[in-house]
Structure 1
Amino acid sequence: MSAPKQIYIAIVGLGGVGKAFLYQLAFLRQRLSKQSPSIDLRLILARRSTKQLFSSNWEHLDTTTVASQLDKNGSPPPPFNETFGQLARAPGKVVLVDNTSDQGLASLYPMVLQRGISIVTPNKKAFSDKIDLWQAIFSSAANGTGSASNGYVFHESTVGAGLPVISSLKELVETGDEVTKIEGVFSGTMSFLFNSFQPLGGGGGKFAAEVKKAKELGYTEPDPRDDLNGLDVARKLTILARIAGLNVESPTSFPVQSLIPKELESCSSGDEFLEKLPQFDDQMDKIKEEASKEGKVVRFVGSIDVPSKQVKVGLEKFDASHPIAALKGSDNIINFYTKRYGSNPLIIQGAGAGGDVTAMGVTGDLIKVVRQLQ
């Protein structure tokens, strides 16, 4: 029997998503070792902002203990270029799992791919930054227009965590369907916030109180302004618009409504912002009342109108019967209107945030790369 094929895994970022990914990697490693022909997935690098652990003899680092080993025995991380140089010398194919939102690392993707290293990642910044970076990434990837010996790149979990949003859109486009409109709630935070601010049956709390509650439950970023400025949703729309064929320059090149009152943009901290936000509750109450009078609810959505090339993010009112109005908890919903699906859109709905489901999207992408490398 021939020896199993070895594929080497390098992980950057061991936060919530990184830890969940390690657990899923252990499961996948076991599964692939039992299939025929078998594959030996080896974790050879774990890195966070302050430390790096590298297996210089290319032996597998134990997924269950690697995080504590990194803390105990990790050395200060060298520049990324140096780390990628080490990885390029591996005796087999390497997959970089970038679980960060690091802009600097994202800008190195083209070079990483050109060195034959594949990338799977939930890092939105790589695919929503200036369009030049997007073009450089896909012209360097083996599954773009790059050389067959270059690495592959997959980024399913940059939109909708583990939901099959990107793969579905790609399939629509690649099978010749005509996507006319994409519309939805793309942020688990904003979904939770507006579902509790204006529930379908009426009621709901004051806006500032709901923001505070969302933060306490861990739904928002440490500074809630990072959610309320709409940029997270704008990044996701930029990615989908590009896949749909629109050359969107950047997430700030189209209208994005920020829910941060002008007067509070300069608050020195998230805590100060939360403290002062109740002074502006009247503005949001007014929006809620207007929607109620029309028998509607207000939701924070993103939309892409493909024929007119219009992309926008902000508050919109929806009839109670609309699928977007009926969302629960922190779920995402994405509606694809296409020629093939007619007046009833293809709807993808479910948990769009959280370490486990985001890691699932990353692990799913890793499986795609492993298939390509077999």
Structure 2
Amino acid sequence: MSAEMPKIAVAVVGVGLVGKEVVRQLFAPALDGVFEVVFLSGSTHAVALERGQRFDDAEALLALLPPSSTSPSNRPSLPSGATYSSTGFKSIVTALVTESTSSGQHTILVDCTSSADLGALYPQALSSGLSIVTPNKKGFASSSSLYTAIVSAQAEPGAGLCYHEATCGAGLPVLSTVRDLVATGDEILRVEGVLSGTLAYLFNQYSTVAGVEDGARPFSELVRVAKEHGHTEPHPADDLSGADVARKLTILARVASASSSTSSAPSSLPPLPELPEGHLSVPTQSLVSPELAALANPSEFLDKLANLDGDLAAQRDEAARAGRVLRYVGVIDRVRGEIRCGLESFPHSHPFASSTGSYLSLAIYTRRYASSPLVIQGQGYPLSVTAGAVVADAVRVAERYGARVGL
């Protein structure tokens, strides 16, 4: 970036595991001189930094934010140029807009929370000139009215940019690939996606090309072990409900539909169903009953999950006899005009059958990739891959505002 080019200001809201890694990656040598972190916010504390204040490394910067358990009365003193600030989302957006306007420095709001409340402020932030980069799915997978407002805000004069690649496939180039395919005249016919790293991890062990061996672990035991090793949410029902897959599928369907609507080529395919309530409008198969999912105690939940082992084993064995495996997938079928999430079987020749670990996988069928799909596959974990996608989106914003990164 030239000496005259001002740095892009970055405000990281939600400095948890992903947020901390985002800050660390912003200090990569290739990005030297591109970004300036001006705000950090956790669940309890927030620190605003004077623009132009320099930090040599990420750890020194992160050390300014006290642990969430620290009471406001016990917060340590901050160095000159740094002040404690409000953690209220509306106050944060207002302050960032005011400071960005007065300084003339473009600001990116990096939302690393999982908050629907912050997602609801995206239209205001964008139309006020802030750019947004986020792995937070809530704003893009909720009601169609909010999603429409987010898209409309980006079209207003002086609006900021919005990138959210990490909302759909961790670090995989999913949304950008779909946009590029349609923008170059292709048409999406069908998308099949293993979009949950947890469910991928479970079914890649439970249902394999090798079939069922004697003494194979029951599904409930696999879930218990996965939780012990940190491969599930604190309450496994959050993974087994399919809601995370439905959110990602909603985002992917909306991006595909938006891309298709801007194509000059007429389509012979029926429109996809509207999703007025976002992911709640997607037909989604939960692997557990509402009664079981309602158990607040994870240990009690895991104990009673064993009641489902027989039914799942029967489905797995039936698939194995047919030369197929079970995978929990999200499907966008533009030929049939449907979107759905659930447990489906796939032949051993399908790319999903040979996947391992917690790998996310997508098979995208288009006019160009009709007989053999375009397959995107990679890790949904560790957190560094998600953080990398977030920082890559921030680089896209910086480049749109004149930065020359890596050249």
Q: Structure 1 length normalisation: TM-score?
A: 0.92
Give distance in 2, aligned partners of 1:102 and 1:262.
24
Would the alpha carbon gap of residues 354 and 248 (structure 1) be closer, same or farther in structure 2, given more than 3 Å must change? Answer: farther
Give distance in 2, aligned partners of 1:65 and 1:316.
48
Alignment partner, residue 132 of structure 1: 145
2:208 alignment partner AA: P
Q: Is the 8 A contact 1:183 1:301 kept in 2?
A: yes
Aligned equivalent of 1:157, options 149, 159, 166: 166
Alignment partner, residue 51 of structure 1: 45
Q: Is the 8 A contact 1:43 1:63 kept in 2?
A: no
Range 60-69 or range 18-27, more displaced: 60-69
Give distance in 2, aligned partners of 1:372 and 1:160.
23
- Asked whether 1:222 is paired with 2:234, we answer yes
Q: Is the 8 A contact 2:250 2:282 kept in 1?
A: no
1:349 alignment partner AA: Q
Q: How many residues align?
A: 363
Give distance in 1, aligned partners of 2:164 and 2:223.
29
Identity rate of aligned residues, in percent? Answer: 40
2:305 alignment partner AA: L
Aligned equivalent of 1:146, options 146, 156, 171: 156
Q: Is the 8 A contact 1:160 1:353 kept in 2?
A: no
1:24 alignment partner AA: Q
Residue deviations 1:223-249, cap 9 Å, x none? Answer: 110010001000011111111214432
Alignment partner, residue 314 of structure 1: 342
Give distance in 1, aligned partners of 2:186 and 2:27.
38
Would the alpha carbon gap of residues 210 and 133 (structure 1) be closer, same or farther in structure 2, given more than 3 Å must change? Answer: same
Q: Is the 8 A contact 1:244 1:306 kept in 2?
A: no
Residue deviations 1:228-272, cap 9 Å, x none? Answer: 000100001111111121443211213100001344132122221
2:338 alignment partner AA: Q
Aligned equivalent of 2:369, options 337, 341, 354: 341
Q: Is the 8 A contact 2:43 2:87 kept in 1?
A: no
Residue deviations 1:143-197, cap 9 Å, x none? Answer: xx232x2110000000111100000001112112111100121111000000111
- Asked whether 1:123 is paired with 2:136, we answer yes
Shift of residue 24 of structure 1? 0.8
What secondary structure is seen at the aligned counterpart in 2 of 1:5? coil
Residue deviations 1:92-149, cap 9 Å, x none? Answer: 10001111111000000000111111010000111100111111111112xxx232x2
1:19 alignment partner AA: K
Shift of residue 59 of structure 1? 2.1
2:318 alignment partner AA: E
Range 210-219 or range 356-365, more displaced: 210-219
Residue deviations 1:26-56, cap 9 Å, x none? Answer: 10xx4244xxxxx441101000111101114
Q: Is the 8 A contact 2:41 2:87 kept in 1?
A: no
Would the alpha carbon gap of residues 178 and 57 (structure 1) be closer, same or farther in structure 2, given more than 3 Å must change? Answer: closer
Alignment partner, residue 36 of structure 1: none
Q: Is the 8 A contact 1:8 1:42 kept in 2?
A: yes
Would the alpha carbon gap of residues 41 and 262 (structure 1) be closer, same or farther in structure 2, given more than 3 Å must change? Answer: closer
Give distance in 2, aligned partners of 1:99 and 1:306.
32
Superposed CA RMSD? 1.7
Gaps of 5+ in 2: 67-74, 77-82, 258-271, 403-407
Aligned equivalent of 2:65, options 54, 62, 70: 70
Residue deviations 1:48-107, cap 9 Å, x none? Answer: 111101114552455222332110547463422222222122311000111111100000
Give distance in 1, aligned partners of 2:343 and 2:89.
40
Alignment partner, residue 353 of structure 1: 381
Would the alpha carbon gap of residues 14 and 195 (structure 1) be closer, same or farther in structure 2, given more than 3 Å must change? Answer: same
- Asked whether 1:208 is paired with 2:235, we answer no
What secondary structure is seen at the aligned counterpart in 2 of 1:54? strand
